[in-house]
Chains A and B, each alone.
Chain A
Amino acid sequence: MIEPVIDAAPSRPWRDWRTWVSLAARLYLGGMLLVAGIIKLGNLAKFALDINAYHLVPYAWTKILGYSIPPLEVLVGLLVLAGAFIPVSAALGALLMAVFIFSIAWVWAKGYSIDCGCFGTGGQVAAGQTTYPQDIIRDTLALLGGLWLVLRPRSFPSVDQWLSGPFMGLTVGDDDTTSPSPSADPSLRS
Chain B
Amino acid sequence: MSNSQPTKPMSRREQLRQRQLAEAKRQQRTRLIVVISAIVAVVLIGGAVWWGVASRQTTPTATGTQITPPNAVGDVGITVHPAGAATPAASAPTLMEYQDYQCPICKEYYTTFGPAFNQLVSQGKIKLEYRTMTFLDTNLKNDASTRAAVAAACADTVGKFEKYHDVVYANQPTTEGAGYTDQQLRVTFAQDAGITGADLTKFQQCYDTKATLKFVQAVNTAAEQAGVTGTPTFKVSGNGKTVTLNLATTQPTADAVLAAITTALNG
Contact = CB atoms under 8 A, between A and B. Distances in A.
B21 A49 contact: no
Interface stretch (A95-103, A117-125, A137-145, A148-156): A117-125
B20 interface: yes
**Looking at chain A, what size class is its interface with the partner chain?**
35 or more
B233 interface: yes
Interface stretch (B63-71, B102-110, B113-121, B189-197): B102-110
Given A1-B28, A4-B25, A84-B35, A43 B227 contact: no
B255 interface: no
Contacts, number: 106
Interface stretch (A9-17, A128-136, A158-166): A158-166
A55 to B, nearest CB: 6
A45 interface: yes
A155 to B, nearest CB: 16
B15 interface: yes
B46 A49 contact: no
Contacts of B35: 84, 159, 162-163
Given A41-B50, A75-B43, A118-B100, A167 B12 contact: no
A127 to B, nearest CB: 13
Interface string B149-179: 0000000000000000000000000001000
A176 interface: no
23 contacts: A4-B21, A4-B24, A43-B139, A49-B224, A49-B229, A59-B224, A71-B46, A74-B46, A84-B35, A116-B230, A117-B230, A117-B231, A118-B102, A118-B106, A121-B139, A121-B176, A122-B103, A122-B104, A163-B28, A163-B32, A167-B24, A171-B20, A172-B19
A6 interface: yes
Contacts of A121: 139, 176
A55 B230 CA distance: 13
B219 interface: no
B259 interface: no
Contacts of A173: 12, 16
Contact of B103 (A49, A84, A118, A165): A118
In the complex, the 4 A-B pairs of residues with the closest C-beta atoms, listed nearest first = A117-B230, A118-B103, A169-B23, A53-B229
A174 interface: yes
A174 B15 contact: yes
Interface in B215-238: 224-225, 227, 229-233
Interface in B9-65: 12, 15-16, 19-21, 23-25, 27-28, 31-32, 35, 39, 42-43, 46-47, 50, 54
A167 B43 CA distance: 28
B138 A45 contact: yes
A172 B23 CA distance: 11
A181 B20 contact: yes
Given A6-B21, A43-B138, A122-B176, 5 more contacts: A46-B138, A75-B39, A118-B136, A165-B28, A171-B20
A91 B20 CA distance: 33
Interface string A64-83: 00000001001100110000
A170 interface: yes
Given A41-B50, A52-B224, A59-B224, A123 B25 contact: no
Contacts of A163: 28, 31-32, 35
A2 interface: yes
Contacts of B28: 1-2, 4, 163-165, 167
